[in-house]
A = this chain, B = another copy of it.
Amino acid sequence: MTQQRRVILEELQKLDSHPTADEVYERARRRLPRISLGTVYRNLEILSECGLIQKLELGGTQKRFDGRVENHCHVRCIRCGCISDVPMAPLTTIENRLRGTSDYEIIGSRLEFIGVCPQCKKEH
């Protein structure tokens, strides 16, 4: 657990904005000016493998990272691309229904909602 790794983890837990690797880098740089982007990527990978953070593969070109690891889903704003949490029970019912009909062994699911965030609704 290096300084860099700790700072990255702390910044991620502090935020609820689901930042991209780049945004994490910018934040970490305020505390460790010499940190490199490569280090940020490497640590985001390691931390998500350890289950300390979550790597999100939602729509859009960049991956995003989440300091919250409990099972929850996300809404993405179609206008500005921002992401928020949605408190929602896991979809066990739907997964189980699929288990009955699919040839696949079902492990889990990923649910993302698409919408317009309050901010963008106002501006529109």
Minimum distance in angstroms from A82 CB to a CB of chain B: 10
Identical chains in the assembly: 2
Against B, the Cβ 8 Å flags (1 = close, 0 = not) of A90-115 are 01001100100111111111111111
Residues of A within 8 Å of B, CB-based: how many? 34
Closest chain-B Cβ to A55's Cβ sits at a distance in Å of 10
Residue from B88, B105, B107, B114 within 8 A of A108 (CB atoms): B114
Chain B min CB distance to A103 (Å): 4
Q: Which of A6-14, A18-26, A35-43, A116-124 contacts B (4 or more CB under 8 A)?
A: A116-124
Q: Judge if A84 is at the interface, Cβ distance under 8 Å.
A: yes
A77 at interface (Cβ–Cβ under 8 A)?
Answer: yes
| 22 A–B pairs (Cβ distance < 8 Å), ordered by A | A57-B58, A57-B59, A57-B60, A75-B98, A84-B104, A86-B102, A88-B98, A91-B111, A94-B111, A95-B113, A102-B113, A102-B115, A104-B113, A104-B116, A106-B113, A107-B114, A108-B113, A108-B114, A108-B115, A109-B112, A109-B113, A111-B111
